[in-house]
Amino acid sequence: MADYLWWKHGIIYQIYPRSFQDSDGDGIGDLQGVIDRLDYLNDGTGRSLGIDAIWFSPTYPSPMADFGYDVSDYEGVHPDFGDLATMDRLIAEAHKRGIRIILDFVPNHTSSQHPWFLESRSSVDAPKRDWYVWRDPKPEGSPPNNWIGAFGGPAWEWDQKTQQYYLHSFLVEQPDLNWRNPEVVRAMHGVLRFWMKRGIDGFRIDVMDRIVKDPQLRDNPPQPDRRWAELIGQTALQEHKYDQNWPEILDAVREIRTVVDEFPERMTVGEVFGTPENIVRYYGGARLDGLHLAFNFALARVWDRRWTAEHIRRKVDEFEAALPPGAWPNYVFGNHDVDRLATRLAGGAIGQARARVAALLLLTLRGTPFVYYGEEIGMENVDIPEDRLRDPARRYGRGRDPERTPMQWTRHGGFTAGGPWLPYGDLKDNVEDQSAQPRSLLSLYRRLVWCRRRSDALRFGDYAPVDGTPAGIYAYTRSHGDERLLAALNFTDDAVTFDLPASLHVRECVLGTHEATFAGQTIALAPNEGRLLRLG
C-alpha cells in the first residue's frame, strides 16, 4: 500500500506504564517490563495481538501527584520506569517489530515541583514569572475569577509569599503553563523535537482543548443542564466558555503540527472534549493542518443504557458526518480515566458478551481503533479497598484506580514478583488461559486484528450503514475495490432474524463472536452476536 500510514491503518494500544509489567519486583510496572512483553503485542504472527503502536501514559520524572500527568522534567524518564537508556532500548526493540511509540505530551500544566515553576513562584520579578498564569486577587481577596478545576474546587491557588494567585485547571500540584509566552512555546516545541530525535513516532496530547484561555479571564457562565455534575463532578456546574476550546488554541495546534512535520511520518492525537463539531475543529479545517487525530470519545461515554444499535449508529454517523473531507475518524472505548468497558456494559456475563460485540465493532469500523490495555481480555473495574485507593481525583469525586489495575497475565497475576501497587482484579480473566481458549475474548481480538491487517476494506475502505434493519441491529458495509464486507451486530439480549436485500449478496462468513458459520441472505443472530460477512 503506497499510502499506508501507520496511525491511520494500524491499531493503537494504550499502556498505563505503572500497571502493564513490572520487571524489578517493586510492584510498579516499568519500561523493561514492556520490552519483555513486546512479543505479546506483536511478534509478526497471529499468535500475538498484532497492534501497530503503543501510546504510553506519562513516563516522565514526576512527583506522581496525578501519576505522571504532573511532569517535573519533560526530557527524562521516571526512575520507577527506568531511564533514558531503557527508553532508547524500548524504542529500538519496538521498531524491530514494526511497533511505533507514542508518548503522552502534557502541555497544559507542569508539576508544581518543575524547576520552571519553582523559579516562577520564587518572586514576582523572577525571569520565569510569566511562564505560568499569575493574577492579583480581587479587591476583597478572592480568586481572579470563578473557574472550577477539572477535578473540582477553585482553579486558583493563593501563593502567600508573592501575594498572587496561580491558575491550575487540575490539581493544585499542576500549575497551568502560559502558552501566550513565546518562551514557553519554544521550550515545549523543544520537548517535541527532543523525543522525535530519539525516535518517538508521535504524541498523545493531554487536555489539548485548554492550553490557551480567554485573555481577559472572564467568569464562566453557569451550566443550566445539571445532569453531568452528578457524573463528572463540580466542574460540570459551569459552561467552560472561557477556559476550554478557546479559539486561539487552534493557532497553537497548527504550530505544534509544523514542528511535528519537521520529522517524517510522525503523528499527534489530541484529547479534546465536546460535540463532534467541536472535536473535528482540531483537525485544522479544510487544510487539515491541525492534529492528525482528535480523540472521539463518543463510545467511551457509552454504558449499559446507551448500548443500543440506534445510539451507537448515531454516534458513528455523527462523527463521520462532522469530519472535514480527508480527515480520518478514530474510536475509543476506554482509557485510564473512564470505567472499564465490560463494567460499563453491565459487567458479568452480559458485560463480557457485549465486550465481544464491541471488539467486532471497534475493529471493523472505518477509523483508527484505540485499545486500552486489558480490554482484550475483558478486564473489569476492580473493587479496591478504601486504604489502597491512590488516585487524588477521588478527593473530588470519582477516583480512577478501578480502571488502572495490573494487567492480568496468569491465574496468579504475573505482573510482578512483588506486591502490586494496586490489587489485581478477578484473575480468572488472564492472558495465559485466554490464549489457550479458541473462544476467548483474546482469541477473538487476535482473529479480528489479523483479519483487519489483511483487509484493505477494513483498514481504509468506505463505510456505509445499512438502512432498514430490525430494531436492535446495526449493520454496515466496508468496501474497497472488489472487496466488500458486511458487519451485522445484534445489540439486544434476544435472537433476531432478518433478510438482507439482494444487493448485499452474502458469500461467506469471515468471522464472528459466536461459532455460527452459516451465510445466506437470511441472517439469524443470537443474543449479543456480531458477524462479519463477505459480500460478492
Q: Which residues are catalytic?
A: 206, 262
Tell me the C-alpha distance between 489 and 364, whole Å. Answer: 11
Q: Which of residues 4-63 bind ligand TEU (CB under 6 A)?
A: none
Question: Binding ligand TEU by CB under 6 A: which of 6, 81, 170, 415?
Answer: 170
Q: Which one of 213, 266, 315, 336 is in contact with ligand TEU (CB under 6 A)? A: 336
Residues 41-46: contacts with CB under 8 Å, at least 24 apart: 41/13, 41/97, 41/99, 42/97, 42/98, 42/99, 43/97, 44/97, 44/98, 46/446, 46/447, 46/450
- Per CB under 6 A, contacts with ligand TEU among 376-395 are 393
| 69: contact with ligand TEU by CB under 6 A | yes
| 267, β-bridge pairs | 202
Q: What is the largest CA-CA distance in the chain?
A: 77
Euclidean distance between CA atoms 232 and 225, whole angstroms: 13
Cα–Cα distance for residue pair 19/476, rounded to 1 Å: 36
| Nearest distance in Å: CB 337, ligand TEU | 4
Q: Is 179 in the site for ligand TEU (CB under 6 A)?
A: no
Could you give the CA distance from residue 532 to residue 488 in angstroms, rounded to a whole number? 7
> In this structure, what C-alpha cell is assigned to residue 201?
513516532
Complex with ligand TEU: residue 151 or 474, whichever CB lies closer: 151
In the complex, least distance from residue 449 CB atom to ligand TEU, rounded to whole angstroms: 25
69 or 424, CB closer to ligand TEU?
A: 69
Residue 296 or 364: the one with the smaller Cβ distance to ligand TEU is: 296
CA 347 – CA 339 distance, rounded (Å): 11
Residue 302: other Cβ atoms inside 10 A:
20
Between CA 115 and CA 149 the distance in angstroms is 23
Rounded Cα gap, residues 402 and 382, in angstroms: 5
**To the nearest whole angstrom, how small is the minimum distance from the Cβ of residue 192 to ligand TEU?**
17
Nearest approach, Cβ of 174 to ligand TEU (angstroms)?
Answer: 6
Using the minimum distance from each CB to ligand TEU, give the nearer residue, 255 or 337.
337
Instruction: Report the C-alpha gap between 119 and 499 in whole angstroms.
Output: 70
- Interface of this chain with ligand TEU, residues 97 to 126, rule: CB under 6 A: 106
Residue nearest to ligand TEU (CB): 69
Cβ nearer to ligand TEU, comparing 155 with 486: 155
When asked if residue 93 is in the footprint of ligand TEU (CB under 6 A), the reply is no
Cell of 80: 520507577
Residues within window 135-154 making contact with ligand TEU, judged by CB under 6 A: 150
Could you tell me the smallest distance in angstroms from the CB atom of residue 395 to ligand TEU? 12
**Distance in angstroms (rounded) separating the CA atoms of residues 67 and 92:** 26
Q: Which of 207, 302, 442, 458 binds ligand TEU (CB under 6 A)?
A: 207
Measured from the CB of residue 67, what is the shortest distance to ligand TEU in angstroms? 8
Q: Return the DSSP state at 177.
A: B
In the three-class reduction of DSSP (H, G, I as helix; E, B as strand; rest coil), residue 238 is classed as strand
Q: Which is nearer to ligand TEU, 170 or 460 (CB)?
A: 170
Residue 132 amino acid letter: Y
Number of C-beta neighbours around residue 244 at 10 A: 23
Q: Mark residues 393-432: x for contact with ligand TEU by CB under 6 A, - for none.
A: x----x-x--------------------------------
Q: Which is nearer to ligand TEU, 343 or 364 (CB)?
A: 343
Binding site for ligand TEU (CB under 6 A): 66, 69, 106, 150, 170, 206-207, 271, 336-337, 393, 398, 400
